[in-house]
Structure 1
Amino acid sequence: MTNETLIFGHRGYPAKFPENSLNGFQYAIDHHADGLEFDVHLTKDNVPVIMHDEKINRTTNGHGRIHDYTYEQLQAFHLSNGETVPKLKDLLSLAANQPIYLNLEFKTNKIHYPNIERIVLDMVHQYHLVYPVIYSSFSLQTLKDAYKVSPNEQYCLLANHPLLHPRELMIDAHLAGLHLNHYQPLRNIKERIWTIDDPSTERKLLADHVAGIITDNFELANDVKKSVLV
């Protein structure tokens, strides 16, 4: 629970733009999303890029695993709006000096990219961001490895099942919060809940002051938030 519930655009603004596209991210920044949630993989030449899946099949006109292409080779493929797969540094450039929270997911639950933690953290530290980045992953080991690289960060575990001993887990792994696809009423633990697009559910979560709502339609969620605050 927290004082204010922040609204995060899940993969940018997929209700209006291709997911994890720079156009979607820019729109969300310009139209006052509290935060952006997005996913990071590494290319064959260790360039951090933004995409949800480990393969490009679903969201581009190409096929295959991201890690089998160099970044230059990846530029041959396009999202449905004609954009190429964005680099992490492209989004960091958009977000620099802007009042926007970033929730960066290390996408390592299917493929573990060697040294992704240091590569990503070193890159993020090169940019002037208004708020500290929130790092998340389904891989507890990734979060522990990231903590070894840079301990003064916010690391949050993603989970799609109820957690039996969340406090002990958080202490053991130096976690700052939990990102769940269900709501567990936990006192004094920052919970961000995904992916919530139903206004009635959003109202309940806002009433309980969860730390964040991660949604495909941040503008709708913002309207719900305003109505609750009136």
Structure 2
Amino acid sequence: MKIETKIFGHRGYPAKFAENSLEGFEYALENGADGIEFDVHLTRDQVPVVMHDEKINRTTDGKGNIKDYTHEELQQFHLENGETIPDLKDVFELIEKHDALANLEFKTDKYEYRGIEEIVLNMAREYEFRHPLIYSSFNLQTMLRCLAIDKDLDCNWLVYRKIADPEKVVSDNGLSGIHPNEYHDFDGVQRIWTIDDEKEAKELMEKNVAGIFTNDFVKMNELRTRCEAERS
């Protein structure tokens, strides 16, 4: 059977570029990643921006929580490559230009940014993406709020642990699938994070999981090509 596993650049291409940077996203989109994955927060004045952590300390030259800065104030800080923290609209503009998938993670597991679901979904409607956006969050309530706005969205629950009955969880909550950190033995959609080990990736590809998130999509693309050659 042909391997169908899609390879997502986790936070872009952090093996080579600053994570969650426009530079990394653009490189991934133009150089063979099936899709990109990125994380969204709200500033104090409710502008959606892209960064993994709630705090800007680790990946910028500033300190503090994103939620405590206005968008204008946040522009004074820079990633290691000199970029300012990307706005979600800038990432959407990149995605719109490419025939690629995109996974937007709502970072609401520590702070439930009020209104973030409606703000992000309304913004997404302004673009003509070639593929429906994939949404995920560790906060199941965030996914349920998204589905209450649009029941047809591709919403997936991010999980750190094994789920006893993933099929029931998906069905009962109207989800499209799960995004676990380890393989689950069920027939539904699962995209696994964060896979950088080639042996583990090969096993997942052989099981035809829907997708893997990786910090090095180039290495994983090469692995997938070798796996497909072995199967043919």
TM-score by length of 1: 0.97
Partners of 2:3 and 2:31 lie apart in 1 by 22
Indicate the residue corresponding to 1:119 in structure 2: 119
Query: Does 1:59 pair with 2:84?
Result: no
State the aligned residue count. Answer: 228
Taking the TM superposition and a 5 Å limit, the aligned residue runs for 1:94-173 are 94-173=94-173
Give how far 1:165 is off: 1.8
Taking the TM superposition and a 5 Å limit, the aligned residue runs for 1:70-109 are 70-109=70-109
Indicate the residue corresponding to 1:49 in structure 2: 49
Indicate the residue corresponding to 2:200 in structure 1: 201
1:114-155 per-position Cα deviation (integer Å, ceiling 9, x unaligned): 010000001011111110000000001110011111211100
1:208 maps to amino acid:
K
Indicate the residue corresponding to 1:34 in structure 2: 34
Q: What SS does structure 1 have at the residue aligned with 2:38?
A: strand
- 2:9–2:214 contact (8 Å) kept in structure 1: yes
Q: What SS does structure 2 have at the residue aligned with 1:44?
A: coil
Q: What SS does structure 2 have at the residue aligned with 1:39?
A: strand
Q: Which runs of 4+ in 1 moved over 4 A?
A: none
Q: What SS does structure 1 have at the residue aligned with 2:60?
A: coil
Indicate the residue corresponding to 2:219 in structure 1: 220
- Structure 1: give runs of 5+ residues left out of the alignment: none
TM-score by length of 2: 0.96
- 1:9–1:33 contact (8 Å) kept in structure 2: yes
- When the two chains are superposed, the root-mean-square deviation of aligned CA atoms in Å is 1.0
Q: What SS does structure 1 have at the residue aligned with 2:102?
A: strand
- 1:40–1:88 contact (8 Å) kept in structure 2: yes
- 2:167–2:186 contact (8 Å) kept in structure 1: no
Work out the percentage of aligned pairs sharing the same amino acid: 50
- Structure 2: give runs of 5+ residues left out of the alignment: none
Partners of 1:89 and 1:165 lie apart in 2 by 37
1:45 maps to amino acid:
D
Give how far 1:214 is off: 0.4
Partners of 1:199 and 1:162 lie apart in 2 by 22
- 2:3–2:228 contact (8 Å) kept in structure 1: no
2:118 maps to amino acid:
R
Give how far 1:3 is off: 6.1
Partners of 1:16 and 1:36 lie apart in 2 by 14
2:171 maps to amino acid:
I
2:26 maps to amino acid:
Q
1:220 maps to amino acid:
K
2:27 maps to amino acid:
Y
Give how far 1:97 is off: 3.6
- 1:97–1:128 contact (8 Å) kept in structure 2: no
Q: What SS does structure 2 have at the residue aligned with 1:179?
A: strand
